[in-house]
Amino acid sequence: MSALSHKIDFAIIFSVKNANPNGDPLNGNRPRTDYEGFGEITDVCLKRKLRDRLQTEGHSIFVQSDEKKRMG
């Protein structure tokens, strides 16, 4: 595996209807919202979603969840 030579920034925009993509464990797992009522998703949640998707597509992932852990 080679080291990244440049920093990679990105933005993801998606819509969700009648779902809870990132519940707040300190608030009864209710959806995270800003002061205007718009939903918020943490960077950790986005990273996990991307890692899981890449792993499902067969890419090698260094940080794996226990449920999807595989060697090699």
Q: Which residues pair with 30 in a beta bridge?
A: 24
**pLDDT surpasses 60 at 1:** no
Say whether 23 sits in a helix, a strand or coil: strand
- What are the tens digits of pLDDT across the range 9-63? 777 777 777 777 777 778 888 888 888 888 788 888 888 888 888 888 888 777 6
- pLDDT for residue 17: 77
- pLDDT for residue 15: 75
User: Which of 32, 70, 72 lies closest to 52, judged by CA?
Assistant: 70
Judge whether 37 and 46 are in contact, CB under 8 Å: no
pTM for the full predicted model: 0.52
- pLDDT for residue 67: 66
- pLDDT for residue 71: 62
